[in-house]
Amino acid sequence: MVEVRVQSLGVDPASKAPVVILEEVGGARLLPIWIGTAEAHAIAMELAGMKFSRPLTHDLMASLVTGLGGSLRRAIISRVHENTYFAELIVVREGEVFSVDARPSDSIALALRLQAPLFTSEELLGGTTVDAARAAEPESGTMSAEELQAHLRKLAPEDLGRFNP
């Protein structure tokens, strides 16, 4: 497992979907994950330190974990299957370890709130680095979904539009 951090949050220029860019801690490899707008807002608000008078969904999740005597030890972006990323939350309560299936976006939002580390596998990080991403350009104006995803994985975070909640 490789520890990662949220490097940036952007918008895919082609699909207009939010993209969270995870960066290897102490390295240059990147992992872009396309996420929903609500989850992008939750991540952006936590990164910006915005607090609300009433708990939002991920704040509620954090309160439930801690209120029930648990702690989030780590969030793991574990695999991808048919273009869908999977994650798990590792929660410890009274010495017992629980693995909870979760979406990566929810895992990231919760890990940020509970200051838990994020991890992913070597396979998911692959070989995409910041330098390699900057060198990538689309080969034509029209791309299949697979070609688009491969192209976007090669983009530098600053090539994406900025996500504004």
**CB 134, CB 153: distance < 8 Å:** no
pLDDT in tens, 99-153: 999 999 999 999 999 999 999 999 998 755 544 443 333 343 444 445 544 555 5
pLDDT in tens, 32-69: 999 999 999 999 999 999 988 898 999 999 999 999 99
Residue type present at position 61: M
Its sign, for the CA torsion 58, 71, 92, 109, is: positive
pTM assigned to the model:
0.78
Name all domains of the chain by residue range, CATH numbers in brackets.
2-162 (3.10.690.10)
Burial call 108-118: b when 16+ CB within 10 Å, e when fewer: bbbbbbbebbb
Cα 23 to Cα 29: distance, rounded to the nearest angstrom: 6
Mean residue pLDDT of the chain comes to: 83
**CB 21, CB 7: distance < 8 Å:** yes
